Amino acid sequence: MLTVTFIRHGQSTDNVRHVWAGWADAPLSQRGKTQAEALGAYFSKTLFTKIYASPLKRAATTAALVLTAQPAPQPPHDFTIESIKEQNFGIAEGKPWCSPDNRSSKSLSEYMSEGKYPTPLPGERFTDGESDEDLAARAMQAVDEVIMPHVHSAMRARRAEHIALVSHGLCIRALICALLERDSRNITTSRGYTGMQNTAWARVIIEMQDVADGTPLEITDEDNPLIVTVTDFGRADHLIKLVRPPDFHHICGCYY
């Protein structure tokens, strides 16, 4: 069995500015560091097999603070995983986001020509940025290259593994949906899986169908049906004792 804990980074300085922040590499704010430290303490008794992170500062720093709180010997880590970076918003990076009353009245190109950057509709993308489909393809790559090797090693050895991926709101949604597509029960992936506040976490358990505990297995990469279960989403128990700023609901940055 493999357990995957997805962690959204702490509050960044761009979250506070209310701007599009995908590949723009803003650091954590002071509050973001406090959030990440609280998260590290919360997970200090959770023994991770390995911790992965996006190389963007807000994710890598969050992951480092989680790693620091792990008991010795600390687990191996890799904070350079390009495939779990946030969606690239192209020319909108660093620009204020807006919410027009009648978004569909104009194309994204028309809004951009006016210097406005609303949320792209399905099939749209900012110039030089990624579409939702691009992000989904990248998430599938991350599942293949980062997560599935742990699935196979855990199943072969018949041991439980638990990895953490510190990433970003939209990318975490895409990663969860990519994993659910591997579920042999053909369950729906229509749930939104969006709106995680900073340092909130989600958890997915991956098991092999119709396998009981016993001796090591012969694993093939394609023929072993999997059961993928989302057990938690948006958990933020570690933040309960932190004082929220007056405009918390406005600046929590529940996506990027």
Q: Quick one: DSSP state of residue 162?
A: E
Residue 15 corresponds to which tokens in the numbers above?
Answer: 């979250």
* Encoded tokens for 70: 């792990």
Which residues does the annotation place in the binding site?
8-15, 58
Which residue type does 22 have?
Answer: G
Cβ–Cβ < 8 Å for 238, 41: yes
Q: Are 86 and 58 in contact (CB under 8 A)?
A: no
Bind-site residues for substrate: 8-15, 58
What is d(CA 127, CA 172) in angstroms, rounded to the nearest whole number? Answer: 23
Segment holding 17, helix H or strand E:
helix 13-17
Cis peptide before 122 (omega within 30 of 0): no
Please name which of 143, 197, 146 lies closest in space to residue 9, comparing C-alpha atoms.
Answer: 197
How far is the C-alpha of 26 from the C-alpha of 60, rounded, in Å?
11
